[in-house]
C-alpha cells in the first residue's frame, strides 16, 4: 500500500522547514483529492488522528484539514499536483508523506491573512515572519527578487487584493532580516 499523501501550510512548515518559529498549534493539511476512495481514506485518517490525540493527551484538532476551505474542486487538485511537483517533503513515514504546499499559494494566503487581521485576534508577527520566510524561499528558487505586481496578481486571483502597506511591511522585514531583496 502506498503512503497517504497530503500537503501542508502554515505553522508546520514554519517549524519543520524554515525554523522561523519554535512551535505551532496544529498541522493544517489537504489530503490527496485524487485518492480512489477519498471518503474511506478520510475516515481512516480521522480515526488514526483521534487515537494519536488520545494516546498523546492532546487536542483532537492537532492535525486538521481546515486549510481545505481555501481551495476546492479542480483548483484543489491543481494545487495538490503543483505542491507534489515542488517536492518539498516535510515528513515521510511508513504510511504518510507530508509535502509543503506550493510556495506562491502559501505566501498569498499569508499576505491575505496579514492584511485582514483587523480584529487583532492573531499575532501579526507570526504571519509577517512566515511571509518573509516564504518570500525568501521563492526568491532563492527563482534566483531573482519578487516583483510587487506578480505578488499582487497571485492575491487578485483569490479575489482578495493585497494592500501596498502589507507588501511594504513584508519587504521592510525581509530587508531587515536579509539585508537585501535579492537573496
Residue spans of the domains in the chain: they are: 4-101, 104-178
Q: What rounded mean pLDDT belongs to the chain? A: 91
Query: In sequence order, which residues have a C-beta less than 8 Å from that of residue 128 and are 6 or more positions away?
Result: 114, 169, 170, 173
In angstroms and rounded to an integer, the radius of gyration of the C-alpha atoms of the chain is 17
pLDDT single digits (tens) 47-95: 999 999 999 999 989 999 999 999 989 999 999 999 999 999 999 999 9
Going by pLDDT thresholds of 50, 70 and 90, the confidence category of residue 172 is very high
pLDDT for 1 equals: 66
What average pLDDT score do residues 13-25 get?
Answer: 94
Q: Is the pLDDT of residue 181 over 90?
A: no
* Ramachandran angles phi, psi of 173, nearest 5°: -70, -35
Other beta carbons less than 10 A from residue 70's beta carbon: 18
Amino acid at each position: 500500500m502506498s503512503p497517504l499523501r497530503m500537503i501542508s501550510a502554515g505553522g508546520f512548515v514554519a517549524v519543520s522547514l524554515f525554523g522561523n518559529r519554535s512551535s505551532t498549534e496544529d498541522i493544517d493539511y489537504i489530503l490527496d483529492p485524487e485518492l480512489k476512495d477519498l471518503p474511506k481514506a478520510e475516515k481512516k485518517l480521522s480515526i488514526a488522528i483521534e487515537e494519536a490525540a488520545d494516546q498523546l493527551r492532546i487536542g483532537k484538532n492537532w492535525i486538521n484539514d481546515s486549510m481545505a476551505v481555501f481551495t476546492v474542486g479542480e483548483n484543489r487538485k491543481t494545487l495538490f499536483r503543483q505542491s507534489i511537483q515542488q517536492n518539498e517533503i516535510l515528513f515521510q513515514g511508513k504510511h504518510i508523506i507530508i509535502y509543503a504546499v506550493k510556495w506562491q499559494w502559501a505566501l498569498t494566503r499569508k499576505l491575505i491573512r496579514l492584511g485582514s487581521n483587523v480584529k487583532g485576534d492573531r499575532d501579526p508577527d507570526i504571519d509577517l515572519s512566515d511571509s518573509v520566510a516564504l518570500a525568501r524561499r521563492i526568491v532563492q528558487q527563482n534566483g531573482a527578487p519578487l516583483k510587487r505586481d506578480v505578488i499582487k496578481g497571485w492575491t487578485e486571483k483569490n479575489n482578495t487584493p493585497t494592500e501596498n502597506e502589507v507588501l511594504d511591511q513584508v519587504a521592510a522585514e525581509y530587508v531587515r532580516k536579509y539585508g537585501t531583496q535579492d537573496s
